[in-house]
């Protein structure tokens, strides 16, 4: 059994974590979960957004499945996610975006892999209030961090038979920071001659993704652009309820959905647990349980191939619990 730290999280986090645990149990995943709180609930019960017990568990397991957590907005408190990514140097944020099953969408053939640099950029937390009327934020880009995310993207492209990497920046305006990111990525690209490299400015990229998403393959970009483009890309395949993610470091990995705590639907049995289930599948891939991950994906895709199983975000009416039951029954039929 592999030890995994499970952070249920806030808002819909508990509901989708429960659903994920039930599906993993039905699939007989060899995972031993240490359930630890973080975020708002942890703050209310233990007086800390990131309790020491969580850090101890992560130090031991080096592997986590995480629900979304609430960070107070605009109160001078650094985001819990950003803190975790920095503390454990989880430099690579990987977000595969592919419609699970034949969803009724305007876009066909979307199959993107976004590689977002996860430790620098405007997320460095270097903000200052110059006066009550003026505030500043410093953007940090280094060659080392840019090259290691580029290498992660190109290695993945090579490993998974992808053809093209699109480097996305705003280097025409931020010539020094984005210019450095672009040059560093282009230097790495030279080591991968079989992979086509193209460069696009982020504003054009946003439009091209809406017009022709099927023409893109791997997207390599900075922290903020990656955050925004992955929500945009999630919208192309049916929404945030469907997109998983991985935060990868050298010897630590935290898997979590792209979406947040969805306070508008929390506690109402309305959340789509697919994104967290697919994040659990990425975790299983990571620990070489690829067959099990594929089995869970097949069950999910089968359930999502029938419109009557759609949750509300997909235009259906099934609740979180009923959807989870369908996935479990499907897994049981596969045995
Ligand atoms: P959000 O992702 O929570 O919600 C955006 C919209 O998508 C909402 O309408 C929500 O109902 C819907 N949605 C999201 N996930 C869904 C799911 N699984 N099933 C069905 N519908 C879903 O983004 P928002 O509202 O900007 O952020 C809310 C809170 O989440 C904030 O406190 C923010 O800090 C936090 N957050 C946490 C993240 C994390 O822990 N990784 C990531 C993003 C936001």
Going from the Cα of 260 to the center of ligand 1, the distance in angstroms, rounded, reads 3
pLDDT digits (tens, 9 = 90+) for 224-264: 999 999 999 999 998 999 999 999 999 999 999 999 999 99
Mean pLDDT across the chain: 94
Distance CA 199, CA 196 (A): 10
Q: Which of 193, 131, 203, 205 is nearest to 166 (CA)?
A: 205
CB-ligand 1 contact for 313 (6 Å cutoff) = yes
What is the token pair recorded at 98? Answer: 């592919």
Atom of ligand 1 nearest to the CA of 67: 40
Q: Please tell me the residue having the least CA distance from ligand 1 atom 8.
A: 262
Strands (DSSP E) contained in the chain are 2-7, 31-35, 63-66, 92-98, 111-117, 127-131, 134-137, 164-169, 196-201, 218-221, 244-248, 253-257
Torsion of CA 218, 221, 224, 230, to 10 degrees: -10
Asked if residue 97 lies in contact with residue 114, where contact means CB atoms within 8 angstroms, the answer is yes
Question: Mean per-residue pLDDT for 323-328?
Answer: 98
Question: Mean per-residue pLDDT for 182-211?
Answer: 98
pLDDT digits (tens, 9 = 90+) for 142-155: 999 999 999 999 99
Phi, psi of 288 (to 5 degrees): 65, 35
Q: Please tell me the residue having the least CA distance from ligand 1 atom 36.
A: 260
Going from the Cα of 13 to the center of ligand 1, the distance in angstroms, rounded, reads 10
Catalytic positions, written as ranges = 123, 170, 203, 227, 231
Question: Mean per-residue pLDDT for 298-324?
Answer: 94
Distance CA 39, CA 168 (A): 32
Going from the Cα of 312 to the center of ligand 1, the distance in angstroms, rounded, reads 15
Going from the Cα of 263 to the center of ligand 1, the distance in angstroms, rounded, reads 7
pLDDT digits (tens, 9 = 90+) for 98-130: 988 766 667 888 999 999 999 999 988 889 999
What is the token pair recorded at 258? Answer: 């792209």
Going from the Cα of 303 to the center of ligand 1, the distance in angstroms, rounded, reads 23
Distance CA 172, CA 150 (A): 20
pLDDT digits (tens, 9 = 90+) for 26-67: 999 999 999 999 988 888 888 888 999 999 999 999 999 999
Q: Please tell me the residue having the least CA distance from ligand 1 atom 39.
A: 68
CB-ligand 1 contact for 276 (6 Å cutoff) = no
Instruction: Please write down the HEC assignment for all residues of 201-243.
Output: EHHHHHHHHHHCHHHCCEEEECHHHHHHHHHHHHHHCCCHHHC
Distance CA 253, CA 283 (A): 8
Q: Please tell me the residue having the least CA distance from ligand 1 atom 31.
A: 70
Mutate which of 67, 260, 265 for ligand 1 pocket (most atoms within 8 A of beta carbon):
260
In the predicted structure, residue 222 carries a pLDDT above the cut 90 = yes
């Amino acid at each position: 059994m592999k030890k995994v730290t499970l952070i249920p999280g806030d808002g819909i986090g508990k509901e989708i974590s429960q659903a994920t645990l039930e599906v993993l149990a039905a699939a007989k995943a060899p995972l031993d979960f240490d359930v630890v709180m973080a975020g708002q609930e942890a703050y209310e019960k233990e007086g800390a957004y990131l309790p020491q017990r969580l850090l101890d568990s992560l130090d031991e397991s080096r592997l986590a499945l995480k629900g979304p957590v609430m960070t107070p907005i605009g109160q001078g408190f650094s985001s819990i996610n950003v803190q975790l990514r920095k503390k454990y140097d989880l430099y690579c944020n990987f977000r595969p975006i592919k419609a699970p099953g034949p969803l009724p969408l305007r876009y066909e053939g979307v199959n993107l892999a976004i590689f977002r640099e996860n430790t620098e950029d405007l997320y460095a937390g270097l903000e200052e209030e110059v006066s009550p009327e003026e505030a500043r934020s410093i953007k940090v880009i280094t060659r080392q961090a840019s090259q290691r995310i580029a290498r992660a993207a190109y290695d993945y492209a090579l490993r998974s038979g992808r053809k093209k990497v699109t480097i996305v920046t705003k280097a025409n305006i931020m010539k020094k920071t984005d210019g450095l990111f672009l040059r560093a990525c282009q230097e790495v690209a030279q080591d991968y001659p079989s992979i086509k490299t193209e460069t696009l400015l982020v504003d054009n990229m946003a439009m091209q993704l809406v017009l022709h998403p099927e023409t893109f393959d791997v997207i390599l970009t900075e922290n903020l652009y990656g955050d925004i483009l992955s929500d945009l890309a999630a919208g192309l395949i049916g929404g945030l309820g469907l997109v998983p993610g991985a935060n990868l470091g050298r010897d630590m990995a935290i898997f979590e959905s792209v979406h947040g705590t969805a306070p508008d639907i929390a506690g109402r049995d309305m959340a789509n647990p697919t994104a967290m289930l697919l994040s659990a599948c990425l975790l299983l891939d990571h620990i070489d349980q690829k067959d099990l991950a594929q089995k869970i994906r097949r069950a999910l895709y089968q359930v999502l191939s029938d419109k009557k199983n759609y949750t509300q975000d997909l235009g259906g009416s099934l609740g979180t619990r009923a959807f989870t039951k369908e996935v479990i029954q499907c897994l049981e039929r596969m045995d």
